[in-house]
Amino acid sequence: MTTYAAPLRDMRFVLHEVLEAADTLTALPGFADASADLMDAVLDECAKLCEGVLFPINRVGDEVGCTFKDGVVTTPPGFKEAYKQYAEGGWCGLTASPEYGGQGLPETLDYLVSEMIGSANMSIGLYPGLTQGTILALAALGTPEQKKIYLPKLVGGTWQGTMCLTEAHAGSDLGLLRTKAVPNGDGSYSITGTKIFISAGEHDMAENHVHLVLARLPDAPEGSRGISMFLVPKFLPKEDGSPGARNAAVAGSIEHKMGLKASVTCVMNFDGAKGWLVGQAHKGLAGMFVMMNKERLFVGSQGISQAETAYQSAAAYARDRLQGRSADGVAKPDKPADPIIVHPDIRNRLMFSRAIVEAERALAVWTHLNVDIAHKHADAATRQHAEDMVGLMTPIVKAAGTDFGSEITNTCMQVFGGHGYIREHGMEQLVRDVRISQIYEGTNAIQALDLVGRKLGIEQGRLFKGWLSEVEATIKGLESRNDMGEFIAPLKEAVARLTAVTLWMTEESANDPNARGAAAVDYLRLFALTAFAWIWVRMVDTAMAAKASHNDPFYDAKIEVGRYFMKRVLPQTVGLDAVIRAGSTTMMTLPEAAF
């Protein structure tokens, strides 16, 4: 069986010591009560829910999965009861406005909650996770009547939301979608079409489902400029807000998947279903990105969450599993063999996993802190800078979080040897479950193209320059300290390398139309590792200061893991630089017929 205990100590270190988030948050309008004590209390309660309720049903969810019969989806044993407890605890509305029954807490806190839920049970966490995006979209774009009817139900968790974008022939190219929306003459529309890969499209845990559907009006221009967004409920609400007549939005089947088997994925058929326009006509794609950006950060948390559970499970196994003897002397003379944690390869796998997970977590919390600043800060320039940082980091958090999530679950499964490959220990489930996170909400190649093709190009690199200013401020404040030299020097080298290859890529793309596409995935990894180095410098600096006044081995361990990252992980950027500069020729010259 896998092992999971909420990493509250590390979460609080990042939240309170490294980022001092409470000071920033309580100064923002609407967050005066978001004190460190309040956030700690929320984290404690979430940990109890995750460890005591959600984690114990994770395995049965995988083994039983969701079943489909006559358009009805039944979730695995224990899921309805667990979700009811989740909803009644107010977790669905953690960040939603109190106007609609939410708690109005920061996105910074919500990230840590999402990570814990994902670590405990990624499948069940996906159901309410998608609803968060629906809430955001309706809060931003819905009519007063739509907000009044739907938001309290979604925030309370009795109704759940979905995103209905993908069609079989279109995939990620939404400009090709064919679903139609015809005006009914009474302000509603008749929606007809089929959507695939719809997470939580139908199930038995909520009394109603609220689908946000992308479709084309009769006068719509071609391509992505002709897409509108519509609200299509499973049951049409009565005047009192309760579910009424059944709408013509029905699950035609469910997908049989590699992983996440307790999270249902549906083919949804809309056969003249009644729906209502959300936002402006032909502006649906922009409206959908209100929720997509939230969901992309959420998916990044899923990658981090699975890596955390994999690391904890592998570390526990490595301490107990006896195999061979230590190369530098017998470690356990009273036992027939030493635990495998004495072996360098096992140590390396565990250290790599921990170094990446802790950096990813810190970078994700920093990104979400900027989400809150962008939403709430009184100063327009401060809001813009924070929004820039969120825009730049969203593809990195999503893609790096999930790429490394898949890599770490695999490397931790390797710690178990043959036992990792069989179901008994649960490691193969982590490998299967996390794999989808590299694909949905925009594949990681699309995230990389968004980074190099759009984010870097905004106003001659404004976003990149804004992030560099943050990094340079850190370097300037610490480079004169002898105790930080071994951390600052590799950071400076990595930043210089990233800056140089960014300039090279910009120049190369002027002559080679394939240059950005060829470099994108490797460039995102290079950027992510450099960003991790920056956040590790901040964590090590904080740990050194705390160590001076606290005799706590936590800080010693933090410094050692940071040192490992700088010496054994960050050097990957040298190879990535070389690969990127190889250009597109070697991958593009082979004739198509030769494949």
CATH code, domain carrying 209: 2.40.110.20
Same domain, 131 and 177: no
- Is residue 178 a contact partner of residue 227, using CB atoms and an 8 Å limit? no
For residue 169, name the pLDDT band (cuts at 50, 70, 90): confident
Same domain, 235 and 269: yes
Same domain, 118 and 39: yes
Residue 266, strand partner residues: 198, 254
Altogether, the residues listed in the chain come to a count of 595
Give domain status of residue 111, yes or no: yes
- Is residue 412 pLDDT above 80, yes or no? yes
pLDDT digits (tens, 9 = 90+) for 113-152: 999 999 999 999 999 998 999 999 999 999 999 999 999 9
Q: What is the mean pLDDT of residues 5-11?
A: 98
Q: Which residues of 367-394 are buried (b: 16+ CB within 10 A; e: fewer)?
A: bbbbbbbbbbbeeeeebebbbbbbbbbb
Residue 276, strand partner residues: 231
Same domain, 140 and 168: no
Same domain, 126 and 179: no
User: Please, how many CA atoms are within 13 Å of residue 251, restricted to the half-sphere of its CB?
Assistant: 24
- Is residue 409 a contact partner of residue 259, using CB atoms and an 8 Å limit? no
Single out the residue in 252, 281, 310 at which a domain terminates: 281
HEC profile for 346-384?
HHHHHHHHHHHHHHHHHHHHHHHHHHHHHHHCCCHHHHH
For residue 178, name the pLDDT band (cuts at 50, 70, 90): very high
Give domain status of residue 541, yes or no: yes
HEC profile for 83-132?
HHHHHHCCHHHCCCCHHHCCCCCCHHHHHHHHHHHHHHHHHHHHHHHHHH
Give domain status of residue 311, yes or no: no
pLDDT digits (tens, 9 = 90+) for 209-258: 999 999 999 999 988 889 999 999 999 999 888 999 999 999 999 999 99
- Is residue 94 pLDDT above 80, yes or no? yes
The kind and range of the H/E element at 457 are none
Mark whether 428 is an active-site residue. Answer: no
Cβ-count burial of 27 within 10 angstroms (0-12 exposed, 13-18 middle, 19+ buried)? middle
What are 494's two structure tokens?
């990595």
- Is residue 202 a contact partner of residue 251, using CB atoms and an 8 Å limit? yes
Give domain status of residue 244, yes or no: yes
Residue in the structure block whose two tokens are 């997509």: 292
Q: What is the mean pLDDT of residues 55-66?
A: 98
What are 287's two structure tokens?
């409206």
CA–CA gap between residue 411 and residue 420 (Å, rounded): 10
CB atoms under 10 Å from CB of 319, counted, come to 11
Q: What is the pLDDT of residue 238?
A: 94
Task: Measure CA 67 to chain center.
Answer: 27
pTM over 0.95: yes
- Is residue 116 a contact partner of residue 50, using CB atoms and an 8 Å limit? yes
Residue in the structure block whose two tokens are 């944690």: 341
Average pLDDT, the chain: 96
3-state DSSP assignment of residue 551? coil
Give domain status of residue 20, yes or no: yes
Same domain, 136 and 183: no
Q: What is the mean pLDDT of residues 344-357?
A: 98
With a pLDDT cut of 70, the percent of the chain lying above it is 100
Same domain, 163 and 237: yes
Give domain status of residue 122, yes or no: yes
**Residue 221 belongs to domain spanning:** 159-281
Same domain, 109 and 230: no
3-state DSSP assignment of residue 206? coil
Q: What is the mean pLDDT of residues 263-279?
A: 98
Same domain, 169 and 138: no
CA–CA gap between residue 130 and residue 280 (Å, rounded): 22
- Is residue 17 pLDDT above 80, yes or no? yes
Single out the residue in 220, 252, 281 at which a domain terminates: 281
Residues in CB range of 576: below 8 A, 6 or more apart: 522, 523, 525, 526, 529
User: Please, how many CA atoms are within 13 Å of residue 225, restricted to the half-sphere of its CB?
Assistant: 3
pLDDT digits (tens, 9 = 90+) for 518-570: 999 999 999 999 999 999 999 999 999 999 998 899 999 999 999 999 999 99
pLDDT digits (tens, 9 = 90+) for 361-371: 999 999 999 99
User: Please, how many CA atoms are within 13 Å of residue 579, restricted to the half-sphere of its CB?
Assistant: 16
Annotated active-site residue in 107, 167, 387, 441: 441
Single out the residue in 145, 167, 195 at which a domain terminates: 145
Q: What is the pLDDT of residue 282?
A: 95
Q: What is the pLDDT of residue 5?
A: 98
Give how many domains the chain has, as a whole number: 3
CA–CA gap between residue 452 and residue 565 (Å, rounded): 25
Q: What is the mean pLDDT of residues 99-125?
A: 98
Q: What is the pLDDT of residue 210?
A: 97
For residue 389, name the pLDDT band (cuts at 50, 70, 90): very high
Q: Which of 392, 411, 391, 390 is nearest to 527 (CA)?
A: 392
Question: What CATH number did the domain enclosing 96 receive?
Answer: 1.10.540.10
CB atoms under 10 Å from CB of 461, counted, come to 16
- Is residue 501 a contact partner of residue 508, using CB atoms and an 8 Å limit? no
Same domain, 120 and 168: no
CA–CA gap between residue 56 and residue 78 (Å, rounded): 9
Same domain, 569 and 467: yes
For residue 267, name the pLDDT band (cuts at 50, 70, 90): very high
CA–CA gap between residue 16 and residue 36 (Å, rounded): 7
Same domain, 14 and 139: yes
Give domain status of residue 439, yes or no: no
Q: What is the pLDDT of residue 289?
A: 82
Q: What is the pLDDT of residue 286?
A: 87
Q: What is the mean pLDDT of residues 430-436?
A: 98
Give domain status of residue 307, yes or no: no
- Is residue 170 pLDDT above 90, yes or no? no
CA–CA gap between residue 32 and residue 23 (Å, rounded): 10
